[in-house]
Amino acid sequence: MSDRNPGIEFDASWLEHVYVNLPAVKRRAETLGTRRYVKKQWQSAWLLRAVTCIDLTTLSGDDTASNVSRLCFKAKNPVRDDLIKGLQMEDAGITVGAVCVYPNRVADAVKALKAANASHIPVASVATGFPTGQTPLKTRLEEIRMAVADGAREIDIVINREYALTGNWRGVYEEVKAMREACGDAHLKTILATGELGNMVNVYKASLVCMMAGADFIKTSTGKEGVNAIFPVALVMVRAIREYYQKTGYKVGFKPAGGIRSAKDSCTWLILMKEELGDEWLNGQLFRLGASSLLIDIERQLFHQVYGRYAATHEIPMS
């Protein structure tokens, strides 16, 4: 990842005059992916870039060491060798951005990546009572420390939605700051669970407060809410990132998660980052896509680019 965001002192005055023009946000979101779109060989390049930004994820109750191992193999070889060769990208070393698992599966993921000679791919772990965060702070902090001790290099935490909904922004700040300290050298990605924050003003304030507390990334959703990664919410969050960068000089990453399944959508997310934050955010250092099934559709589109037809079901397995 990029250089750490050290955070700043809590600044309540920054939150006093936050206003979000919701109709304008919606109009802007509707134009994404419609005014321009990448095609042909440029589309292939963008899709491969999207692959390098994916946090390949499994967060199921029936996760086992074996299915985590399969996920890690896919993380190292996310696109079939014949497609990589057909696109003349053999020397690019295409891998996903990270493998994301529950804390209990971190050691399995680290072991599998090491066996695959892919230890350069970081293991990310959700923590702090994911997805609800409804456990005592002491327990949440210990969960972070255990995941880091097992080899997690990135930690995806959930914020305290009660504090956010009741306007206790200093409470949000203090908890996220404590979680940042518990991470040690591991990067911190804070999940806002935007579908549960009530309104866009809360989304903007939560984004700013988490960055003040030292978040290296802000993330839309757990993937378990009724509303997950949507473009209006993303616009509000990336505008907060831009304001934070302009005021402090620190770059913070962005991660949409939940419901991102199509190759076309992945390109639209890249367009959003390019237009709102610039080319510096168009990489896995500052942009991630939280997804479990997106890679299947990207491979289908790349197959079409190489062979001129869409793959049959048996040619690109569903998992």
Catalytic residues: 219, 255
Closest Cα partner for 120 from 102, 142, 98?
98
As a whole number of angstroms, the distance between CA 77 and CA 81 comes to 8
As a whole number of angstroms, the distance between CA 94 and CA 77 comes to 7
Chain-centre distance for alpha carbon 161: 19
CB 161 within 8 A of CB 197: yes
CB 59 within 8 A of CB 223: yes
- Residue 101, H or E segment: strand 98-101
As a whole number of angstroms, the distance between CA 187 and CA 156 comes to 9
As a whole number of angstroms, the distance between CA 168 and CA 285 comes to 31
Closest Cα partner for 180 from 205, 152, 214, 149?
214
Strand 123-126 and strand 187-191: the pairing is unpaired
Strand pairing partners for 123?
Answer: 99
CA distance to 247, 261, 272, per residue, from 265 (Å) = 31, 7, 10
Position 154: which residue type?
E
Count the alpha carbons within 13 Å of 252 in the hemisphere toward its beta carbon: 34
Closest Cα partner for 299 from 267, 264, 263?
263
Closest Cα partner for 152 from 97, 105, 116?
105
